[in-house]
Structure 1
Amino acid sequence: MRKMMARPHIRVLFGMDMVDYQVGKVTLGIDHRPELGHAPGWFQGTVTSALAECAAALSGVTVAVDKDTMTLQQSIYFTGPARGTRLIAEGRVVTQGRRISTTAADIFVLRDDERHLCATMTMTVIHTELKR
């Protein structure tokens, strides 16, 4: 996983960090910076979506480490304002298949030392043979 996180990717552009991971679960975080928001202290929806996508997709990678994992479908639902100092996305595998898995992510914003749910994502991924 650390090797996957080190690869140049959208995670580097946004400055996402690995908070925790285990088989079937990945938690990523990103601190607020002015360029990531549309108003002081507010995260832009694209940043929230990117963090959710990475956490959900990487959770799928943890159950198929010998495969390439690609997104087939994703849906994000914004449930509240992403206003705060840090975004945290908790990705998890919902159902695991040999070729197709369903993953999800809950995205929280840290505000006033409390976590507030601001979005949730569902994703379908396909596991394919590694291309060398």
Structure 2
Amino acid sequence: MTVTVGDPLLDDLLQKLMARPHIRDLFRFDLVGFEVGSVTLGLDHRPELGHAPGWFQGTVTTAIAECAAAMSGATTAPDKDSLTLQQTIHFVGAARGDRLIAEGRVIARGRTISTTAADVYVMRDGARHLCGTLTMTMNHRALQE
């Protein structure tokens, strides 16, 4: 699925980020939606992603949160490289269900430093349940050719 917002630079950036091997091949995250300052990713449960049937492993929950938070920060600086300086995740509920959804957003945007966050929900019995929240500090710098 291709999701666009009509800004060629932003659309191109998100398509390139989603094509990275760890997102495309390892996790297979879905790009659910995005706009400047926010990105939503999804991931259907597969047996290799959990430690018990129907449960997502913490590393998977962290990975989708990290990608959503980092990608949301990148949408505010599509012409720059972004580097994670710090991140913290808090698990607040069981990641047991059929699908993870991570909603990333920019909290504060500076000239070179941004703070982003992501909330991770698990879909279970037709309802969303919060299972993790992540904060991240990012550095944006000129593209390295």
TM-score normalised by the chain length of structure 2: 0.89
Identify the residue that residue 6 of structure 2 maps to in structure 1: none
Identify the residue that residue 29 of structure 2 maps to in structure 1: 16
Question: Number of paired residues?
Answer: 132
SS of the residue corresponding to residue 9 of structure 1 reads: helix
Q: Distance in 2 between matches of 1:97 and 1:56?
A: 16
Confirm or deny: 8 A CA contact 1:11 1:54 kept in the other structure.
no
Q: Structure 1, residues 65-107: CA drift from partner, whole Å, max 9, x if none?
A: 0000110000000000000000000000000011000000000
2:121 is aligned with 1:115:
no
> How do 1:1-132 and structure 2 match up within 5 A?
1-132=14-145
TM-score normalised by the chain length of structure 1: 0.97
Change (3 A) 1:36 1:108: same
Identity %: 68
Please state how far the C-alpha of 1:8 moved relative to its aligned partner. Answer: 2.2
Greater shift, 73-82 or 11-20, is seen at 11-20
Question: Unaligned stretches of 5+ in structure 2?
Answer: 1-13
SS of the residue corresponding to residue 55 of structure 1 reads: helix
Amino acid at match of 1:31: D
CA-atom RMSD, angstroms? 0.9
Question: Unaligned stretches of 5+ in structure 1?
Answer: none
